[in-house]
Structure 1
Amino acid sequence: MSLFLISSCSDPATVGIELAPGNNQIGVVFEEFELSAEVVLVDSFNTTNQIVLVVGEEEDDFFGKTSGQAYTRLSFDPNTPLPKEDALLDSVFFFMNVRSIDGNKLDEAKYYSVHKLTEQIQDTIYYNFDKLSYEESPIASGEIIFGEKSDTLVSLKVTPEFAEELFTEIKDGLYFNDIFVFRDYIPGVVIKGREGDNTTIGLGLGTGTGLISYYHYEGDTAAKAYSITASVRLSNGSISAARGFSSIQSNRSGTPTQVVTETNKSYNVGPLVGMKSGLGMTIKLDTSPFDAFLDTLSGVTFNQVILELGEIEEQAESQKPPVGITMYFTDSRNEILETSTGARLSVQVDGAPQVLINEDGSETPSTANPAALIYNAESKTYSQFITSYVNALFRNQLTRKDWLLYADLPASNGDDFKKSLKQFVVDKNKIKVKVIYSKTR
């Protein structure tokens, strides 16, 4: 059920000045109304080949326990010479290219472990609920103190047993002449965090993540290294990230979101709603109050319309919410609506066309410039101008659709919603549309 509240200011020009400086004309009116919200768990949340994978363990009162594990293939450069038989091993480390860090008490040690898979990562699509079998004992592990770092290259000590075994196999060369033979030896690895650490990292795949064996020759002080990394050399000679995916497990028992059991179904979870990346939990906004509001108007010009979400609920300073949220169109199926060519339909940037004119003169929704709600760290709110969108609704150029809020910036590289466990919770009464319009007759 949508809550529709109109709040007219006794001195609309004053509010107009606050929201639109210099706008103190007679006949300018300020009104606001709320959009009701529910949560939706997205279906078929494909996390394959996101380049940045999710590793960590989190727990809170709203979303419960959430665990992210990164699965990736490893590979080697066939152009790198193998160590000779008389090479002497110094050490072996598993390096991790940490692209982002999000969590609590980052001045305390966080534990990570790397486990060898016992089955292959196939050339197929993996979703966030998928997982593969792996050896119980890690081949590498260690504790890391991140402090104030936002990204870093860290290393985990490889167990002495696996280090000796690996270096012996490298020198022997049997598994290091053909990548498919190599995968019989190391099908891939999974990187895990520790329950209770309440910290998540974004693990960047590529040459910065993987195993490095350091060695030397007797009488030669020059250190040498042989790398097995989460990368792959393409046929054109370039290097790309290896195939991998993020696996997300969730236990929401005893929380408001425990009722969320089915995908693509909207749930009323109480006075608060929340969004959690990686898990695929989104917020659906009922936009029917736009109809009720616009039906009361005629002969007006919209000067400024803002959608504002927040202030969000308090969370640790080191736990950052998503930077931006796209407002995608949805319907009763709670899926993002698309054009016949697969382009996602959404609110467009203010000032940009909301519709396009086809050759036959008909109007279709534009998809070229998606708008996003942007987070303000000082006010702890998300907001965006939607004046052009409301004008298109008012002129019947667009058919109103509900919105599925999705934590991604349209211009970003890849899908940000799949690269972290970033989250926020907000009171449903703090999702408002604020309107300034002028009466033209």
Structure 2
Amino acid sequence: MLISSCSDPATVGIELAPGNNQIGVVFEEFELPATVVLLDSFNTTNQSVLIVGEDEDDFFGKTSATGYSRLSISSAAKRPTELALLDSIFFDLNISNIDGEDLGQPKYFSIHKLTEPILDTLYYNFDELSYEQTPFSSGEIVFGEETDTLASFEVEEEFAEEIFSKMKSGLEFNDLFTFREYFPGIAVKGREGDNSSIGIGVGSTTGLNVYYHYEGDTVATLYSISTASSRSFNGLISDRSGTPLDIVTEKQKAYDIGSKVGMKSMLGLVIKLDTSPFDAFLDTLSGITFNQVALEIGDIDGQPETIKPPGGLIMYFTDASNEILESSTGAQLAVQADGQAQVYTDENGIEVPSTNVPTALIYDSDDKTYKQFITSHVNALFREKLIRKDWLLYGNSPSTNGDDFKKSLSQFVVDKNKIKVKVIYSRSR
């Protein structure tokens, strides 16, 4: 444990009692040792967003994310008749966010027809399905400063003729079940070397739009086949060979990979902090009051502004199992918000960790650091209200709807010596 200290750098000159007792204000800081943990595969089913893209760097290696989804039709929708004339078919992607390098350069995405169905089961981040190698629709997008957009790609002519023919007279469009036997779903992919990923909103604005007309019409009619109310999931392939993460092969095992640690969403790579230095620090103290305790991480290694780190890092409790610990009621245990109760008394009269208001380290994009006050938590450790636990830093925020860690390829790398606890406390003398 590395500890630096300013011995009584400031003294508040308040006369407390005869004899001129004074309050000494002390600042200390120390590092928390860090390792990385590859979490067990987690459920990515129906996350409301398809994560699609390819990226590569020296730390995380090659990462490929593919979004899979069923398509949906309405049996009540009016189908074109044999007299209908096809105008065009587009596949629309409702892109909610973009993450990557050189966004002013064209990024290519392709949509493939699945060759096996998406089942009514749970799918995990390392699951994948087979699909036709030749896409039925594809295109390039130049994003620039745009972070969200609606992209429309034309479909291949042969595919357009086939699906329009079946739409007019085939049994495949009689109902949703026969349609999905014919068309099990889609796989959306990026292009290797583009070093970018997108989030695609699943819903009525992502899917096939078929435009047709009849003789004499002045306006085309639209028939939609969308991803609304459709089962979806995200799959990821990671090749970490030749990187510091090459040795990270077993899940739920802590690895010391050298002078740096990193986190990558959807891959499930998290940072574990060894909090044992708190024991050595707190054992030296008595008769003190904590004014302020903060955990700071960073500045993180330089990366383009368009490659975003997670916005928040929840500090979940863990132990040698390297799993997120839970309460007896199944609630996940984490550091609670500063100024809030860290423990409560249960129905058996036993003090147990609170779970109502978890906090998170918040990313400051100006100085590229994560920060959060943990004064109340450390005070609970000092007063022996809490049993110290190590922490798993997880890329999400308690205020977020859903789990952002499963909805992007956000990442960051940081030197281990930039993970510090900073403490200001007062003592009487």
Tell me the TM-score normalized by structure 1: 0.93
Pick the aligned partner of 1:53 from 42, 50, 72: 50
Q: CA deviation at 1:173?
A: 4.7
**Residue 12 (structure 1) aligned with residue 15 (structure 2):** no
Specify the code of the residue in structure 2 equivalent to 1:291.
D
Q: Which residue of 1 aligns with 2:402?
A: 414
Q: Which residue of 1 aligns with 2:292?
A: 304
Q: CA deviation at 1:420?
A: 0.4
Paired residues for 1:341-380 under 5 Å: 341-380=329-368
Q: Deviations along 1:199-230, whole A, 9 cap, x unmatched?
A: 01011111111111011111111121111111
**Sequence identity percentage:** 66
Q: Deviations along 1:143-179, whole A, 9 cap, x unmatched?
A: 1111111111111111011011111111115122221
How many residue pairs are counted as aligned between the two chains? 419
Q: Which residue of 2 aligns with 1:197?
A: 194
Paired with 1:13 and 1:186, the residues of 2 have a C-alpha distance of: 72
**Residue 248 (structure 1) aligned with residue 236 (structure 2):** yes
Q: CA deviation at 1:13?
A: 3.0
Q: 1:11 to 1:295 in 2, by over 3 A?
A: closer
| Preserved CA contact (<8 Å) 1:67 1:248 | yes
Q: CA deviation at 1:412?
A: 1.0
| Preserved CA contact (<8 Å) 2:204 2:226 | yes
Q: Secondary structure at the match of 1:8?
A: strand
Paired with 1:397 and 1:52, the residues of 2 have a C-alpha distance of: 41
| Preserved CA contact (<8 Å) 1:82 1:173 | no
Specify the code of the residue in structure 2 equivalent to 1:438.
S
Paired with 1:386 and 1:77, the residues of 2 have a C-alpha distance of: 52
| Preserved CA contact (<8 Å) 1:356 1:365 | yes
Q: CA deviation at 1:12?
A: 2.8
**Residue 88 (structure 1) aligned with residue 93 (structure 2):** no
Q: Which residue of 2 aligns with 1:321?
A: 309
Pick the aligned partner of 2:181 from 184, 188, 208: 184
Q: Which residue of 2 aligns with 1:75?
A: 72
Q: Deviations along 1:41-68, whole A, 9 cap, x unmatched?
A: 0102111111112100000000000000
Q: Which residue of 2 aligns with 1:210?
A: 207
Q: CA deviation at 1:419?
A: 0.4
Q: Which residue of 1 aligns with 2:141?
A: 144
| Preserved CA contact (<8 Å) 1:13 1:26 | no
Q: Which residue of 2 aligns with 1:33?
A: 30
Q: Deviations along 1:240-268, whole A, 9 cap, x unmatched?
A: xx211111000111100010001100101
| Preserved CA contact (<8 Å) 1:54 1:278 | no
| Preserved CA contact (<8 Å) 1:301 1:440 | no
Paired with 1:79 and 1:400, the residues of 2 have a C-alpha distance of: 59
| Preserved CA contact (<8 Å) 1:112 1:142 | yes
Paired with 1:10 and 1:385, the residues of 2 have a C-alpha distance of: 22
Paired residues for 1:56-135 under 5 Å: 56-135=53-132
Q: Secondary structure at the match of 1:388?
A: helix
Paired with 2:138 and 2:355, the residues of 1 have a C-alpha distance of: 46
Pick the aligned partner of 1:156 from 150, 153, 160: 153
Q: Which moved more, 1:112-121 or 1:351-360?
A: 351-360
Paired with 1:323 and 1:396, the residues of 2 have a C-alpha distance of: 32
Paired residues for 1:165-184 under 5 Å: 165-184=162-181
Paired with 1:96 and 1:388, the residues of 2 have a C-alpha distance of: 46
| Preserved CA contact (<8 Å) 1:373 1:383 | yes
Q: Which residue of 1 aligns with 2:248?
A: 260
Q: 1:161 to 1:8 in 2, by over 3 A?
A: same
**Residue 437 (structure 1) aligned with residue 428 (structure 2):** no
| Preserved CA contact (<8 Å) 1:111 1:142 | yes
Q: Secondary structure at the match of 1:207?
A: coil
Specify the code of the residue in structure 2 equivalent to 1:152.
T
Q: Deviations along 1:261-320, whole A, 9 cap, x unmatched?
A: 011001011100000001110000000001110011011111100000000000012111
Cα-Cα RMSD: 1.2
Moved over 4 A (4+): none
Specify the code of the residue in structure 2 equivalent to 1:437.
Y
Q: Deviations along 1:12-55, whole A, 9 cap, x unmatched?
A: 339xxxxxxxxxx8401100000010000010211111111210
Q: Which residue of 2 aligns with 1:238?
A: none
Gaps of 5+ in 2: 12-21
Q: Which residue of 2 aligns with 1:42?
A: 39
| Preserved CA contact (<8 Å) 2:74 2:175 | no
**Residue 403 (structure 1) aligned with residue 411 (structure 2):** no
Q: CA deviation at 1:359?
A: 2.7
Paired residues for 1:217-228 under 5 Å: 217-228=214-225
Tell me the TM-score normalized by structure 2: 0.96
Paired with 1:77 and 1:324, the residues of 2 have a C-alpha distance of: 40
Paired with 1:337 and 1:44, the residues of 2 have a C-alpha distance of: 17
| Preserved CA contact (<8 Å) 2:7 2:26 | no
Specify the code of the residue in structure 1 equivalent to 2:62.
K
Q: CA deviation at 1:7?
A: 1.1
Paired with 1:198 and 1:269, the residues of 2 have a C-alpha distance of: 24
Q: Secondary structure at the match of 1:13?
A: strand
